[in-house]
Amino acid sequence: MTIGMLLESMAGKAGALHAISQDGTPFRFSERHRAVDYFGEQLRGAGYSYHGTENMYSGVYGTEMQVQIFAGVVYYQRLRHMVSDKDQVRAKGPINQLTHQPIHGRKVHGGIRLGEMERDALLAHGASFIVQERLLHSSDEAKSLVCAKCGSLLAPMILPLRGTLTDGQIRQAHCRDCGTGVEVDVVTLPYVFQYLTNELAAMNIKTHLTISDRK
């Protein structure tokens, strides 16, 4: 495709100079009768370079560039992509009830997707906090109970309330695997990870988390 576009540039340039229509049908040229020679002779007959290159001058300094610049004429159809049709702004809006992530779609006030390539580009530039902001805080940030002893995300629970809460009293956490709630912590993680943990548990696959820097 690249070579074909270069040949099209030479053919268009020669056709514009000689005011002729070029024949672009297949199998017109061969190894003995090459397209570059056919269009090159037309360009040379019009006083231009054989391979479609030209001498150009710097628009900043006005001096001639020391390299040959390939220039030609090609048919180009513009794709109608206007900024006014694509601009999108969202602070808060609807979320997916299953994953708690922003829904997709400009018409429904959805979020702008940060894909894998965008994530990799940000990480490559050392902008890890922007990745955390986009993929966690502005997405499906959630608070979950995790037992630091057994590493379970599903076993910890809040004990049922008995009576009413008094001033300064809080509801206690309890790990159903360990039988105690001493090492149950509240961690911040994407809600979709908790959803994935439940899906894996349904397939009899246990997820173990390691909690560090506990206070």
Provide the sign of the torsion angle of the four alpha carbons 113, 117, 121, 123, taken in this order.
positive
187-215 per-position pLDDT tens digit: 999 999 999 999 999 999 999 999 886 55
* CATH number of 142-160+169-202, picked from 3.40.47.10, 3.30.70.270, 3.40.50.1240, 3.90.1800.10: 3.90.1800.10
**Please, which residues have CB within 8 angstroms of residue 77's CB and are 6 or more apart in sequence?**
none
Is 83-137's fold the same as 142-160+169-202's?
Answer: yes
Helix (H) or strand (E) holding 145: strand 141-147
**CA 128/CA 163 separation, integer angstroms:** 46
Q: Kindly state the average pLDDT of the residues 177-192.
A: 90
Residues linked to residue 175 through DSSP beta bridges, in sequence order: 156
CATH topology of domain 83-137: DCoH-like (3.90.1800)
Mean pLDDT of the residues in the chain: 89
Q: Where are the domains positioned within the chain?
A: 2-70, 83-137, 142-160+169-202
Predicted TM-score (pTM) of this structure: 0.59
61-81 per-position pLDDT tens digit: 999 999 999 999 998 888 889
**CA 136/CA 190 separation, integer angstroms:** 6
- Structure confidence at residue 173 as a pLDDT band (50, 70, 90): confident
How many whole angstroms from its chain centre is CA 57? 38
**165 has pLDDT over 60:** no
Helix (H) or strand (E) holding 173: strand 173-175
**46 has pLDDT over 60:** yes
